[in-house]
Chains A and B, each alone.
Chain A
Amino acid sequence: MILYLLMSIAAAAQLTLELEGREMVVGQTVPLTLQLVNGDVRGRPEIPVGDGLVVQFSGRSSQTVAVNFRTTEVVRFSYELRAVRAGDWAVGPVDLGTGRDALHADALVVSVGNAPEEQGAAPVVASVSDAEPVLGQVVVYRFQFRHDKPLVDARWSQPAFDGFVAEQLAESTQREYQIEEAGEAFTVQTIDVPLVAAGVGGRSIPPAVLTAKYRDKRRRRSNRRSMDDLFRDSPFGAVGGVRTVTHATDSVPVDIRPLPDGAPANFSGLVGRFKITVKAEERQLALGESVTLEYRITGDGTLAGFRLPSPDADAAFRVYDDAAEIKAQVRDGRFVSTALVRRAVVPESAGRLRIDALRIPIFNPESGRYEVVAAPAVRIQVSPGDEGAGVVSSYADAGETKRAVTALGEDVLPVTTPDSVGDATLQGAWPVVLGLPTVPFLTWLMALIVGWSARRRVDPRVALLKRLGDLPAEPTARLAAIESIFLELVGLRVGATAPSVDRGIVATLGEEPLGLYDALVQARYGGVQTSLDGLFTRVLGFAEASE
């Protein structure tokens, strides 16, 4: 027991703020929890929040857990956090003076975006962040779906973005949240697609289509059965059915304007609002050493292919740039991109080195003008290093002059020269198209006809056997029929006609047929009384032996 108490006391108190996600939109309410572990507090802790947020206490719960003789008491204070203004706002920090010690919960930063676009009764709506962008500007296409019915599945078809190309570095983002309007709860789903304007002129983004499957509750029937009561409205059963509805947005007209004339000669091709900062690793170094400058450019335009401009050829230092680390994303309908370029600077002489401000000409669509964003100059003290250090001829390259290809106009795409041109129509191929199956078809047809006619030919031996089974009852006629059949069987075997068969021909077939022939002759003339049944059996045996 003593050990148990000691362990309970030894448990350290903790205070944490818990919030699902860090992104909200104006009008959205999310649960916020302040969790106190092994602490003691009186009353209701206050949570300071930024101006764009409103917090409201909603309840308190506590729980005691014992694991391995250690008890943990968890107290949760629940709040509702509502976003009322767009911007980045802090939640917390929270400081509590509990019974044992002072506790602290770090602040959280919540990014609050604009309220979902007003869409009236329309379940889906599409928009772009700027309907009149300039060439090269990034716009965000937003598809918004709002519903208040139970949704089973929803799939949308992305429209063709004529005049735009996909932003290479950022992917589409999808969000889902609940909002309340006029006392009714709605679920809002948004899909943001970053696009770069690439073709000048008026365009129309065609309607985006969404196929939604809603769970459709049926009315109760008056004569419902007990099984219906068991599963009606059950989340496990399929009762209620699914209703599929297709929603389509309106087309979104866009007018892509060309970049205005008067671009500076060293225009970087960047279109958007940008800012650039620089950070030096160290400010003092010896000749022969290098210093790394970190240039970070941030903005709402695409930075694909971005490179830092090279210093002047007569600069007293050499530079080596790493490949730019570019990150881009869409956050709450806003495109944000950042490029980090590390530039190693190698001074070529001792003394006070000034690395001039880095100036990048851009086009700002908001002001409609070409502007220059600049990182401040950096001053570095270079001390003389080892003898000879830094006294090297500059092997800096002539400067990186690559930049994104700027579209200046459009025209039809040219013909690729083929090896030869022929008739690509079906009419030109008729002989082969018809000829290919005709040959096997005729072959098959011929085989079919020949086989059919072969099946129609009657086997004479079978016919004779059939006659043998159908002999007349009258003895004389029966004997004549048996004799006739025998002679025809012999004729078949020797290849002669029945009337031409005589004793000499039968003798060529052996003793047994000859004996039968003699018995039949004798029976015909009454020389020896032989039973008809015996003759029949012997002729039948001869016929079967002829097979």
Chain B
Amino acid sequence: MIWFLLMQLCGTSLASDAFEQGLSATRAGNQVEAVSLFRAALADGARAPETYHGLGNALYRQGHRGAAMAAWRRGLLLAPRDGDIAANLTRAQRDNQDELEPPASHRGAFFWQSAISPKEGGLLASFLLALGLWVLAIRRLRGGFRGVAPTRRGSGIAALMIGLGLVLGLSTMDAIQQRSGAVIVVDSVSVRSALGPEGVELFVLHEGAEVQLIEIDATQALVALKDGRKGWLAARAIITTDPADSFPAPPVNAPG
């Protein structure tokens, strides 16, 4: 019950008309309008898995497979247990030209990252920390303000909750760090060793390839592959997978 209330409290009730209209446009077969409505919903703050799911579907039907994958990836990061989004992403990945290992669903021992979204992890961590701290505070208050040392009763529970909260908090921060990825959204793009004409063309990535994003500015982005190769490419050729970023308009395909 407490968890439900917490989630509701954080929902911010940004029920977006644009989202509803986007769904209607999708059902009416107007994918171009659906894309613009879903993007408007995101701009309104409705950064929900359903919005990204709908946006991905509309982009996919328009033929923007890479952009659709970026949208679904964002949706999956917000709702890791959503099997429909995962299925769509898997289906789109089948058409990838580049044989790249997909991003890991979790890091090392943080196995729950593949099932808990950063928001859920953050709230759970916050809740556990709050509980642990309340136990500590109540113990201290029961000792009064006379400076009497508190009893050891409850200290184990407090330590356990604070410890769990800290671990979950670390895991959440790590999950946010991990999602600094991007998807190639143009037919193909050259990855170069350096900015400017002296840079050497290292390799070519194709639409749908998922890369790790190291650095990005308005025009260029430094990306890395799982095998350790790094290079610069045009920023317009990618869409980041961070759900908190704004979602750009799908690009007009042109070799990068």
Contacts and interface: CB of A to CB of B under 8 A. Distances in A.
Interface stretch (B122-130, B185-193, B233-241): B122-130
Contact of A424 (B47, B125, B143, B176): B47
A421 B15 contact: yes
Nearest to A429: B10
Contact of B137 (A415, A417, A447, A456): A447
Nearest to B11: A422
Interface string A390-426: 0000000000000000000010111111101111111
Interface string A44-79: 000000000000000000000000000000000000
B50 to A, nearest CB: 5
Interface stretch (A219-227, A268-276, A435-443, A461-469): A435-443
Interface string B5-16: 010011111111
Contact of A423 (B45, B146, B165): B45
Nearest to A455: B147
Interface in B125-181: 125-127, 129-130, 133-134, 136-137, 140-141, 143-148, 165, 172, 176
Contact of A421 (B48, B61, B137): B48
Contacts of A428: 10, 12, 45, 47, 119
B53 A422 contact: no
B51 A436 contact: no
Chain B binding site: helix, strand, loop or mixed by DSSP? helix
Contacts of A433: 122-123, 125-126
Interface stretch (B82-90, B105-113, B195-203): B82-90
A415 B23 contact: yes
A525 interface: no
Interface residues of B, number: 64
A450 interface: yes
B231 interface: no
A423 B14 contact: yes
A456 B146 CA distance: 10
A408 to B, nearest CB: 16
Interface string B59-95: 0110000001000000000110000110110111010
A421 B49 CA distance: 9
A422 B147 contact: no
Interface in B37-52: 41, 45-51
Contacts of A434: 126
A454 B119 CA distance: 41
B48 A413 contact: no
A16 B96 CA distance: 62
B15 A451 contact: no
A417 B19 CA distance: 10
Interface string A203-230: 1000000000000000000000000000
Task: Bin chain A's interface residue count.
Answer: 35 or more
A439 B134 CA distance: 9
B117 interface: yes
Contacts of B176: 426
A453 B146 CA distance: 9
Nearest to B176: A426
Contacts of B212: none
B123 A427 contact: no
A300 B104 CA distance: 39
B250 interface: no
A416 B57 CA distance: 12
Contacts of A455: 147
A155 B41 CA distance: 48
A450 B126 CA distance: 26
A21 to B, nearest CB: 41
A424 B145 contact: no
Contact of B50 (A421, A441, A443): A421
A114 B54 CA distance: 51
Contacts of B6: 432
A102 interface: no
A459 to B, nearest CB: 11
A161 B114 CA distance: 20
B244 interface: yes
B122 A426 contact: yes
A425 B242 CA distance: 9
A477 interface: no
Given A426-B122, A432-B9, A440-B137, A421 B60 contact: no
A418 B48 contact: yes
Contacts of A439: 130
Contacts of A410: 91
Contacts of B137: 440-441, 443-444, 447
A453 to B, nearest CB: 8
A420 B15 CA distance: 5
A437 B133 contact: yes
Contact of A425 (B26, B118, B134, B165): B118
B147 A451 contact: yes
A451 B78 contact: no
B31 to A, nearest CB: 12
Nearest to A430: B122
B243 interface: yes
A452 interface: yes
B13 A425 contact: no
Given A422-B11, A429-B123, A444-B136, A417 B23 contact: yes
A415 B127 CA distance: 31
A404 to B, nearest CB: 21
B243 A424 contact: yes
Nearest to B51: A421
B48 A443 contact: no
A161 to B, nearest CB: 12
Nearest to B78: A424
B120 to A, nearest CB: 9
A423 B16 CA distance: 10
A437 B146 contact: no
B16 A421 contact: yes
A419 to B, nearest CB: 8
Contacts of B53: 415
B51 to A, nearest CB: 6
Among A420, A427, A454, the one with the most B-chain Cβ atoms within 10 Å of its Cβ is: A420
B244 A427 contact: yes
Interface string A281-325: 000000000000000000000000000000000000000000000
Given A422-B14, A436-B127, A412 B60 contact: yes
A423 B57 contact: no
B13 to A, nearest CB: 6
Contact of A429 (B87, B119, B130): B119
B94 A201 contact: yes
Nearest to A439: B130
14 contacts: A412-B56, A413-B88, A418-B48, A421-B46, A425-B47, A425-B78, A425-B244, A427-B244, A428-B47, A434-B126, A440-B133, A440-B136, A440-B137, A451-B140
* A-B residue pairs, 6 tightest by C-beta: A455-B147, A454-B147, A422-B11, A440-B133, A444-B137, A447-B140
Given A203-B94, A421-B19, A424-B79, 15 more contacts: A412-B88, A413-B84, A416-B84, A420-B14, A420-B15, A421-B46, A422-B15, A422-B45, A429-B122, A432-B6, A437-B165, A443-B134, A447-B143, A451-B144, A451-B147
